[in-house]
Structures are given as C-alpha cells and as structure tokens.
C-alpha cells in the first residue's frame, strides 16, 4: 500500500522493479519468519548472506566483469529499502558491504579489483569498514591509528571502534595515519581479516539493529603489502568520504525502509483496532499521524532516489545524499515513535514489531555521519566554509 505514490512517480525501470521485488521476496521468505528470534537473541544470521549472495544482492552494484550484477544505485537503494522494511540490521550489513565494494570499484587498482571484487560480489565474502576511534568519530581527520612504512609494505597499529561487519568480514577497509596531522596524513588500506595481529577486542551490544555485527578491532603490528593501500598515500580521508557519500544513500534507504514498515504496521493496526465502537483510524488523532507518515515516506523516497539517480549519472551527489539521509533518518525516528503511540500499550511490547522499529530507527541519525554532520555538509554547499 505504501509503495504506490513516490515509486510510480519516479518512473522506475523494469529491472529496478524486478530487483526491488526480489529483495522484498527474500526479506519476506527468509527474514520475516525469524527476525523476532534473531533480534531477541542478537543473532548475526550468517546463512542468510549465502542466500543474498546467490540472488546477486551482495554484488548488486559491482560491475559484471567482476562477478557482480552491474545494476545502478537506484536499484541498490530499492533493495536496501526492502530489506530494511523487514530488518534494518540486515539492510545495514548489506549497505556497508556494498559501500566498500563501491569504493574498490571506484578507487582500486586493477589488481585490487581482481582480488577482492569477485570474492565480495559472488563468493559469499563480506566487507567491513573501520574508521571510528575513541577520539575520532565525526572528526574523522583526527584518527590516531598509524601505518609505518617497512621493507615489506606497512605495519599497522591502532584500535578501531564500532566497525560494522568487523568480526564476520573477509576484508576490512581501514583508515590509518601515514603522515602529519589532519586529513592529508590519512591513508586507506584494504586489510585481509585473516592477517596476523588483527583481532576482535569486543562485540558491541546495541540498542537496536541486533542482527548487525558491530565490534572493536585491534591492529597489533599487522603487516600488509604496499599494494594494500587504496588510492594514494594521504588520500585516505578522501577515500573515506567517497565511500561514505555512497554509503549515505544506503543509510537513507535503510531509514526509508523502517519508515515504510512503520506505515504498514500503523495502517493495519488502525483498521483492526477498535475503540468506542469504531476503528481507531477513524479518529483524527490517529489518522493525521498516518497521513503525515505517508507524506514523509514519499518525500524520503524521492530524496533517496534523486541522490541515487545523480550517482548513476556520474553527477555530483554528495549534498543530495546528505539531504536524503538527514530527512529520511529524522522521519524514521519521528514516525517510529508515532507508530508505537498508535499501537498504545501493545506498541510497547515485543508482541508487535513497532518497538523494534523504534529501537532500530535511532541509529540512522548517527552512523555514517550524524545529522549534525549532514547539516554541516548541506550548509557549506550553500554558504561555503565560513
């Protein structure tokens, strides 16, 4: 029901609709029957990713020559949205994985692409991202983990925090300082997770997205070859920003999927729940909430699809991706609370999924750039750096 307006008006192609339908079918068939238990037990459903891999969703934007589907970013956004509609944790796992695939496809050498993209796109390997440190989150240019040049390549040392997919990945894209302070001294590395000296220090327990793997990684004298560096020395901050720009389309799509789930649940409950002899949807206190929820869902979708379409066209999309993430994440958090309110006491129990949507929505305002960071990006595009 909540798919009718924005998607139709955006004139999706048959291929895009087919990919959305495929993701929705897998989500309903493979995730929906199990998500309550997975969420309750904080389960990372490793076998699910073999199914997603076989369907091509783990390589959706990877070029066909490297084993991927070679689809566009609009298709990527649609797939993430459909996964998030059932489970936001699965959606972010796939989104971050594809963010790394995109970075390698855009910035990697031919050798790096040949080594990693086929494995990530079609051989059931997962990619992770390691940027944040205890004193460097939104201030990504202040990272302290360092890489020292050696005869064999580089020696990596440091601690990374809140690494999505970190303990289940085959590859981690990680940022290390190779030069002076500030963004110019940061370089990006593609680190094989089987490398000696790389270890998981802690699995992070979270408010929501319990099916997503989040951990702290320790790099203790991890030796990597020179060709493990992505792009050039000192380009790591730019590489991270390139990855995050495309990743924000994914997180905006994730937030949109949560919002769509909130609308679906709210409409269903408002029709079925009676009070004072009539469905609660007949009361303006409920119906107006649903009307605003639907309106914001359309707006979020159009912002996400616009950013994705610009990326597909090879045009600048950083500001548009920030706008999409800012709006969609704010709307998801706001309307998850409204969905819970519509459900009343039932919404506060685990018998209905809206309490999970409520817990899952908040993180979309924080990771891959907080809402405040998105506002900085948007305002600087308008005003310049003042």
Is residue 368 part of the annotated active site? The answer reads yes
Beta bridge partners of residue 216, listed in sequence order: 202
Look at residue 1 in the predicted model and tell me its pLDDT.
46
Residue spans of alpha helices (H) in the chain = 4-9, 14-26, 35-41, 46-54, 73-86, 88-107, 110-122, 236-272, 284-312, 318-343, 354-361, 371-383
Beta bridge partners of residue 159, listed in sequence order: 218
Look at residue 10 in the predicted model and tell me its pLDDT.
74
pLDDT tens for the 386 residues of the chain, in order = 456 566 766 789 999 999 999 999 999 999 999 999 999 999 999 999 999 999 999 999 999 999 999 999 999 999 999 999 999 999 999 999 999 999 999 999 999 999 999 999 999 999 999 999 988 887 878 899 999 999 999 999 999 999 999 999 999 999 999 988 888 899 999 999 999 999 999 999 999 999 999 999 999 999 999 999 999 999 888 888 888 899 999 999 999 999 999 999 999 999 999 999 999 999 999 999 999 999 999 999 999 999 999 999 999 999 999 999 999 999 999 999 999 999 999 999 999 999 999 999 999 999 999 999 999 999 999 999 87
Phi and psi for 246 in degrees, rounded to 5? -70, -35
Packing angle of the helix pair 88-107, 236-272 (nearest 10 deg): 150
Look at residue 141 in the predicted model and tell me its pLDDT.
83
In this structure, the strands spanning 171-177 and 186-192 are antiparallel
3-class DSSP state of 194: coil
Dist. CA 281–CA 312, nearest whole Å: 40
**Half-sphere CA count of 15, side-chain side, radius 13 A:** 9
Catalogue all structural domains in the chain, each as residue range(s) with its CATH number: 4-126 (1.10.540.10), 128-237 (2.40.110.10), 244-383 (1.20.140.10)
Closest to 153 (Cα-Cα) out of 216, 218, 233, 237: 233
**Half-sphere CA count of 272, side-chain side, radius 13 A:** 7
Look at residue 5 in the predicted model and tell me its pLDDT.
64
pTM metric for this prediction: 0.96
Look at residue 24 in the predicted model and tell me its pLDDT.
98
Dist. CA 119–CA 11, nearest whole Å: 33
Look at residue 179 in the predicted model and tell me its pLDDT.
87
**Cβ-contact 174, 222 below 8 angstroms:** no
- Among residues 15, 233, 368, 372, which one is catalytic? 368
Dist. CA 138–CA 133, nearest whole Å: 10
């Amino acid at each position: 029901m909540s798919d009718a307006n924005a998607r139709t008006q955006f004139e999706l192609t048959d291929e895009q609709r087919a990919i959305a339908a495929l993701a929705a079918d897998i989500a309903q068939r493979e995730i929906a029957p199990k998500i309550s238990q997975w969420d309750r037990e904080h389960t990372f459903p490793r076998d699910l990713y073999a199914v997603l891999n076989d369907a091509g969703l783990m390589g959706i934007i990877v070029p066909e020559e490297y084993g991927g589907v070679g689809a566009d970013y609009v298709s990527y956004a649609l797939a993430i949205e459909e996964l998030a509609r059932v489970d936001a944790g699965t959606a972010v796992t796939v989104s971050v994985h594809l963010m790394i695939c995109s970075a390698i496809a855009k910035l990697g050498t031919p050798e790096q692409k040949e080594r990693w993209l086929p494995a990530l796109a079609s051989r059931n390997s997962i990619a992770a991202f390691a940027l944040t440190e205890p004193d460097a989150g939104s201030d990504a240019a202040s990272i302290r983990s360092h890489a020292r040049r050696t005869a064999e390549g580089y020696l990596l040392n440091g601690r990374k925090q809140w690494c999505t997919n970190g303990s289940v990945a085959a590859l981690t894209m990680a940022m290390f300082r190779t030069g002076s302070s500030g963004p110019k001294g940061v370089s990006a590395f593609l680190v094989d997770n089987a490398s000696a000296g790389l270890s998981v220090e802690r699995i992070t327990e979270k408010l929501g997205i319990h099916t997503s793997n989040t951990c702290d990684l320790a790099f203790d004298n991890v030796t990597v070859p020179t060709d493990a560096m992505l792009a050039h020395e000192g380009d790591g901050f730019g590489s991270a920003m390139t990855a995050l720009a495309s990743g924000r389309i994914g997180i905006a799509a994730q937030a949109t999927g949560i919002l769509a789930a909130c609308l679906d649940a709210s409409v269903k409950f408002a029709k079925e729940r009676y009070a004072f002899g009539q469905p609660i949807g007949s009361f303006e206190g409920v119906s107006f909430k649903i009307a605003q929820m639907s309106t914001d869902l359309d707006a979020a979708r159009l912002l996400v699809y616009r950013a994705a379409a610009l990326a597909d066209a090879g045009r600048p999309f950083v500001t548009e991706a920030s706008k999409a993430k800012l709006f969609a994440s704010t709307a998801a958090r706001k309307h998850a609370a409204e969905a819970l309110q519509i459900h009343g006491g039932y919404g506060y129990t685990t018998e209905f999924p809206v309490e999970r949507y409520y817990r899952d929505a908040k993180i979309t305002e924080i990771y891959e750039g907080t809402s405040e960071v998105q506002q900085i990006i948007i305002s600087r595009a308008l005003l310049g750096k003042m």
